[in-house]
Amino acid sequence: MAKAASLDHVNIKVRNAERSYRWYADLLGLHTQDIFYVSGTEKIRAVFLSCDPDHAHDIALFEVGADAAAPEKDGVGLSHVAWRMSTLDDLADMYRALQAREIPVRVVDHTVSIGVYFSDPDGNGLEVYYELPRSQWKQERPFSEAGQKGRFPGPWD
């Protein structure tokens, strides 16, 4: 039986490809791999972005128009797309960048990883996370919030 090698990329429908392109590239530091334009114009209809410039793409953004319905939060479908950060400091930096942009976030300690959840301008769910070393899985965290051990993000506030 055939077996998938890995999960490779995600396509996200957006209302405005230009806006979303700038938002994802600027916030997440993604590389532009390709841009597709509406025929005969300079209007972006799709863009392919990647964390690694040597990889074809991790995410593709496709414009569906300004009047497109918002994602259904309680319906069947994809909940969110997660971006792994290399270090806990990188996650802290991203947390601060989201706060500086006044993007609402929710922080969750999953016991094996620490995730920061937020939405893109179209309401698509996103997460940036740091996967803890296996030796730290399911342990109390050294972070504190109001002096309570095990709460997060604490030192980032």
Give the burial string for 67-89 (b: 16+ CB within 10 Å, else e): eeeebeeeeeeeeeebbebeeee
Structural domain that includes position 16: 1-66
Q: Is residue 6 part of a domain?
A: yes
Kindly write down the DSSP assignment for every residue of 56-106, as one continuous string: S-SEEEEE--TTPPPP-TTSSS---EEEE-SSHHHHHHHHHHHHHTT---E
Whether residue 61 is found in the same domain as residue 101: no
Q: pLDDT tens digit string along 40-75?
A: 999 999 999 999 999 999 999 999 999 998 888 788
CB 90 within 8 A of CB 131: no
Q: What is the pLDDT of residue 141?
A: 58
pTM: 0.84
Within a domain: residue 13? yes
pLDDT value at residue 22: 98
The residue among 15, 32, 66 that closes a domain is 66
Q: Which two tokens stand for residue 97?
A: 């960048």
Q: Domain end: 36, 66, 96, which one?
A: 66
Q: Kindly tell me if the per-residue pLDDT of 148 is higher than 50.
A: no
State whether 43 and 93 are in the same domain.
Answer: no
Question: Does any domain span residue 89?
Answer: yes
Q: How far apart are CA 144 and CA 157, in angstroms?
A: 10
Question: Which tokens sit at 42?
Answer: 């300079």
Query: Quick one: 37 and 92 in the same domain?
Result: no
Residues 6 or more apart whose Cβ sits within 8 Å of residue 150: 109, 140, 141, 143
Residue 134 counted as domain residue: yes
For residue 128, what is the domain's CATH number? 3.10.180.10
Tell me the pLDDT tens digit for each residue of 101-145. 999 998 888 778 889 999 999 999 999 999 988 887 777 655 534
Structure tokens, 1: 């039986």
Residue 54 lies in a domain: yes
Q: In terms of domains, do 4 and 57 share one?
A: yes
Together in a domain, 119 and 62: no
Asked which of 42, 66, 90 is the last residue of a domain, the reply is 66
Q: Is the dihedral of CA 150, 137, 88, 124 positive or negative?
A: negative
143, part of any domain? yes
